Amino acid sequence: MENNYSTPDTARLLITCPDQPGIVARVSQFLFQSGANILDASQHSTDPLEGLFFMRMEVRMPYSDHFKTAFEEQVATPLGMTWKISYTHQRKRMAILVSAYDHCLMDLLWRWRSGELDVDIPVVISNHSALEKDCTALGIPFYFLPVNGETKAAQEAAIAKLMAEQQVDFIVLARYMQILSPQFVSLFPQRIINIHHSFLPAFAGARPYHHAYARGVKLIGATAHYVTDELDEGPIIEQDVARVSHKHALNDLVMLGRDIERQVLTRAVKAHIDDRVIVLGNKTIVF
């Protein structure tokens, strides 16, 4: 096989295909012939009725446009694969949409500034102006785009324009308290991550802490998921819970919940950045 590689890089390979013997061997042999060194490999097979195979590999190899063509022809097509490869030198560009609550936004910005999130943040957009100083102090462009029922289409068009101009790869809704239209969601399939302040599927929609308090639940939680046309029904990436009791007032649930929201959203965003998520219908495989 001709090798026209340039500089070394780390690549992440995600694979979905019908389960069959020899998949790992076929992929590994191709990588060996391509001069790649496998750093990490994880795999999962579903039950025989579904008959699906999933794999994530992290490899060290020089970047090459030729790799994609060769892999598609020699491995992916014969094995019926859906696959993608990404390279760590091509940092993802993450836009953040937020309303007035600052806890999820500030956690993401702090982790980005500390280097924990290997991503670029070219823009933060909000339908409130309260968080502008926090963003501009870190050198992140902030756009105040107010919205109501009459201006929603125009506001989403302005957001989409900014996404295109800034070459955004994916969007994070850091407590963005607006429902995105199906038209907007279709522009970023499986590339919009939302944090919902409930352990879904319980208490979907608005005011989940109030509903949880009224029901006297013993666990509260948060859920990070990809956005789809169905409200709070998208594929779940990450979840967590905290135990509560009758001694906790509503404000206590909100305070505890916000801490969970920060952690869950960060873990989901990091999983997406690190290419550890494969979407299967309305479920996810998270390596």
The CATH code of the domain at 8-87 is 3.30.70.260
* Domain residue ranges in the chain: 8-87, 93-286
Domain 93-286 bears CATH identifier 3.30.70.20: no
Of residues 232, 252, 259, 275, which has the active-site annotation? 232
93-286 shares the fold of 8-87: no
Q: What is the DSSP letter of 28?
A: H
Cα–Cα distance measured from residue 189 to residue 202, given in angstroms and rounded to the nearest whole number: 24
What is the model's pTM?
Answer: 0.90
The tens digit of pLDDT for each residue in 177-218 reads: 999 999 999 999 999 999 998 877 676 767 777 887 788 888
The tens digit of pLDDT for each residue in 1-35 reads: 334 434 458 999 999 999 999 999 999 999 999 99
Is 232 labeled as catalytic in the residue annotation?
yes
